Structure 1
């Protein structure tokens, strides 16, 4: 084999295309003697495509140093150039230690006891049938965890890249399974895997103060695989006991499901002239301040067997971190509280920790997204305000019992009402007044007391325009159209569609405001693809350009997204019982049956446009239209999507 007169035998590094190779052809059969494979892209079961990266035995891959920057999960962050302490600029080797001291300061200093017997004795009573156990893993568990590894994530403290485990999973699965089962059998989590590499990432703008940075933890790859396999097995056993109020770190639940439930309650009440008071709570360093002894007791309350509790006690005991900055590392420090960052079991432990919080409430409703908590209640008189205050007091008492604290300066209250003179009450957290606001940001959506999303739309449009301008300037010389599209979808459209089902405008002026941003990009994309800029709107209509570059209107995408969500909900693909109970089948009378085909679902009766254009109402209206064309309970997703697009696009 030759390429421009150069023999492969003379090359140190080359790639072999595997197009046409089926599963019976092993990669080792394709490489010449004396070479070894350092990377293989062909996936299991893939009949063709991919490539092997082959090198001589002495050829060594070296990491390219990017001074001052760090890549975490495919995102490039600029590290601080200087860190200032007490007016003095620290040397780079001193910065790592300063970051370590700051990150360590948020953890509790006391060593947890992690006494399994005491945890079982102090646990709440559990049903004997609800025993959560994990004696061993099987080969499919480990293979699945290896398959789910993200190959391009950062290297942990062990220095082993995740793609190596993922690509070599067929070889590594059995020895890893043996090691993991020994860990479970002995109830011991290896000490080496408890060490975490931490990289400081700016919270917002660049700062020379360590307090302006947050730690991003990166675990060893074998630890990630073990945690992923254990998490999948345990979550299946405890999912039935999890509160429906929790929407964080759960499959098929998200900020969208949280806000849909919330806005469905709030908009229905406000449309009926009822006031809603909401209290937002901000936990202080929630994931870092979790008391491990309390957490172990909570696990026992879920029915974890003593042997499994012993494994989790070993997992939490003597965990360490070190900070890496500009090539320098700090001394390791202990984390004697909190849940493990950057892991699968850490978030799982946290939602188990706060799972009983909604049980303390007597009057108000609550919703959780991980550590984001909000209480809300209908207010008709001063007595209702007092009942809400009592529930706030119960939440504060729960936090004291469980060793968690609130950041009172960031705890807010807001009143949702369109009345001229709503009832105003000042709520307190432990004798400290909660700040009353008329506008706040909830899971990425700007909410106002009048439930107008004008401010939110204007804000995201400004940000989208700014990002679009950056793309148009930087991508001027790009030859790869796919790169330009990826930049737009990531930096612009993602902002225009984040939780769009909640705030989707029904007023034409705001719809046009959003569409104008995409229209500017698609004309630029048309120029890139066809070499002609579509100046004249009459000669190059927007719909024509959209079709030529393969895009849909943002309005179409918003309506399709909420329709697909509701379709998956009624088909049982999404677990959201609170929202599902709001959907009712329409039961027509005989007269209506004779005159026309009845609607499948009952639309909420709205008094104002607030409820008439609410997410649930819009979705119900669209599903009723679709029920005439497809069987909503028998069609597949492709059939549903085609029918939905045919209605939305020609609406």
Structure 2
């Protein structure tokens, strides 16, 4: 039961991460089509979870409609805690913290997001995205005046944070410009007259490597190398294992997990990238066949793949894409922003075409491979997909 709950929490968190990125991807791709850039400021609050004011959190929970007895239960949950520090065999005096939410607890990220949700009301121009204690503001830049508007909103965010007892860790804040134009508008953003670090080529965000033009090739290359290293480690420690099930479990739970993290966002569009990802699973199958003394024809992994009951990674990505789109349309995924980008095919006259979605015309491949457009394109190729 406990493992099922943990797995469910992980799935929900991955879904939230995916929705956060789809939201910003839609904004950035629309800006690309208008030949604009998007400046994103990544913020980091020092000891964010430890500085949640209990009284302010309780008043916020009450203002959004959390009533009794849940409100009292939450108050007891975050306040009635005793802490101490132990070094070797020596312990400090016990004390009751006056602020903060328990780190590592399932409820803590949700409580923190509720605590900082008022940040959305202080920004006048920029957009805001929050995931746990990860907060970023972004704005479409057409001229240097737009940079000044974003800087002003950043200062408003700093002032708002100080009013709640939250201080930005300036050394961990950074700026990334996403664009597909040559004439980039450059501006140095700052906090309290201290310039923020500018990322020129790429930035890591919630497990993804994002480049300035949102091309997924660098991310694919990095996860490919990471998966190969982990597969090599598994091969070395499993020399004495000659059972099919343990080998498959190790591969699926460790290696394949890396290759399938957030595939809705970066599903490769080129044959070379798809082949690179598939190469990891084929290497595992080849090693497993050798270890289990199973004959595997050269360059034909279908028999051993069937024996292990493993689908190709490309097929699994397609299934994940279709499932995500189906859940979005059936409201199992609550994301109005994503749903508004789905364009249904409503012919003005009787035609032979029966595809469910209308794909907007685009002269560029990057837009056709953006997440929502790609989901619709894949669904159009599956006759079995129904609305």
TM-score between the two structures when normalised by the length of structure 1:
0.55
Superimposed CA distance per residue, residues 139-175 of structure 1 (whole angstroms, 9 cap, x where no aligned partner) = xxxxxxxxx545999xxxxxxxxxxxxxxxxxxxxxx
Structure-1 separation of matches of 2:308 and 2:109:
41
Matched, 1:266 2:25: no
Matched, 1:376 2:131: no
Structure-2 separation of matches of 1:520 and 1:620:
32
Structure-2 separation of matches of 1:441 and 1:623:
30
Superimposed CA distance per residue, residues 53-90 of structure 1 (whole angstroms, 9 cap, x where no aligned partner) = xxxxxxxxxxxxxxxxxxxxxxxxxxxxxxxxxxxxxx
Gaps of 5+ in 1: 1-147, 154-247, 633-651
Match of 1:573 among 332, 336, 361: 332
Gaps of 5+ in 2: none
CA-CA distance at 1:373 after TM superposition? 1.0
CA-CA distance at 1:570 after TM superposition? 0.3
Structure-1 separation of matches of 2:330 and 2:180:
36
Match of 2:376 among 617, 620, 626: 620
Equivalent residues in 2 for 1:128-147, closer than 5 Å: none
Partner of 2:386: 631
> Is the radius of gyration larger for structure 1 or structure 2?
1
How many residues align? The count is 383
Matched, 1:459 2:212: no
CA-CA distance at 1:267 after TM superposition? 2.2
Superimposed CA distance per residue, residues 562-608 of structure 1 (whole angstroms, 9 cap, x where no aligned partner) = 22111101011111111111112223232xx34x2253222233231
Partner of 2:239: 476
Equivalent residues in 2 for 1:283-294, closer than 5 Å: 283-294=45-56
Structure-1 separation of matches of 2:194 and 2:316:
45
Determine which structure has greater relative contact order: mean sequence separation of CA pairs < 8 Å that are 6+ residues apart, divided by chain length: 2
- 3-state SS of 1:414 partner: strand
Match of 1:601 among 357, 371, 374: 357
Partner of 1:437: 199
Residue pair 1:319, 1:336 contacting (<8 A) in 2 also: no
Partner of 2:305: 546
Structure having the larger proportion of residues in helix: 2
Equivalent residues in 2 for 1:134-533, closer than 5 Å: 148-150=1-3, 253-305=15-67, 309-322=71-84, 330-331=91-92, 332-438=94-200, 439-529=202-292, 531-533=293-295
CA-CA distance at 1:450 after TM superposition? 2.1
- 3-state SS of 1:473 partner: helix
CA-CA distance at 1:501 after TM superposition? 1.8
Residue pair 1:317, 1:336 contacting (<8 A) in 2 also: yes
Structure-2 separation of matches of 1:263 and 1:555:
22
Residue pair 2:379, 2:385 contacting (<8 A) in 1 also: no
CA-CA distance at 1:312 after TM superposition? 4.0
Residue pair 1:363, 1:377 contacting (<8 A) in 2 also: yes
Name the Cα RMSD after superposition: 2.7
The verdict on how the C-alpha distance between 1:502 and 1:253 changes in structure 2, with shifts beyond 3 A counting, is closer
The verdict on how the C-alpha distance between 1:151 and 1:507 changes in structure 2, with shifts beyond 3 A counting, is closer
The verdict on how the C-alpha distance between 1:312 and 1:542 changes in structure 2, with shifts beyond 3 A counting, is closer
Moved more, 459-468 or 263-272: 263-272
TM-score between the two structures when normalised by the length of structure 2:
0.90
